[in-house]
Amino acid sequence: MNIAFIRHGPTEWNALGRMQGRRDIPLSVEGRQTIAQWRVPDALAVNARWLSSPLIRAVETARHLAGAEPALEPALTEMDWGDWEGYSHEEIERRDGDAFTRNAARGLDFRPPGGESPRDVVARVVDWLETVAGSSPPLICVTHNGVLGALLALATGWDMTGKPPIRLRPATLHRFDVRAGPTLAVVECNVALVAPGECVTEPPFPPPPVPSAALP
């Protein structure tokens, strides 16, 4: 089966470069204006079942795109950034020196103090995929960059060091093929959610301070 994944719309903390993690930050005013322009291709949306991370920024995004209340799935929740939530990369660097950079070099085993590692996120995503592989109707999931990075690692073998094999862009949809096991393969990435020719007003998402799987 194919499952489609979408990252939530922008928040004020995204614009400020703050690590959100499990903090329940809503979409910003600009973020709501941004997702108002998003549309899922009809061929994918027909008869789809919508799932969302329980965090409000994802729920708001799913609610708009689905035109209905999504089912909540805890496995789609963002990576827990522990003690670093609410801080920017620059603030952590000033406080902790190069501890952030050295930690980030560990790739899948990067772990913020008191938080999750990307490997932890991969493990919970695998557990969830085992429960939905082969289910119907097709699924569209609204989630976070941490989960998208975990999916990319599963599908490509990326160890989250160096550049990702595919740069997952905002305001796009990503499809993966899930089979028993579970095994995961990329079907297509960066399917635009904005119709060609439409004007997009989107607050900038800050550049990743660590491997992209662990973005806020």
List the chain domain ranges: 2-214
pLDDT per residue as tens digits for the range 59-110: 999 999 999 999 999 999 999 999 999 999 899 988 888 888 888 889 999 9
Which residue of the set 8, 89, 144, 174 is catalytic? Answer: 8
Provide the mean pLDDT of the chain. 89
Is-contact 43 64, C-beta < 8 A?
no
Report how far apart, in Å, the C-alpha atoms of 28 and of each of 14, 192, 206 are: 9, 21, 15
Which fold, 2-214? Rossmann fold (3.40.50)
Active site residue 78: yes
Please determine, for residue 196, whether its predicted confidence score (pLDDT) is greater than 70. Answer: no
Active site residue 85: no
Report how far apart, in Å, the C-alpha atoms of 45 and of each of 49, 87, 144 are: 8, 36, 20
Please determine, for residue 36, whether its predicted confidence score (pLDDT) is greater than 50. Answer: yes
Please determine, for residue 22, whether its predicted confidence score (pLDDT) is greater than 70. Answer: yes
Which residue of the set 60, 78, 85, 116 is catalytic? Answer: 78
- 16-38 average pLDDT score: 97
Residue 94: count of CB within 10 angstroms of its CB: 10
pTM higher than 0.85: yes
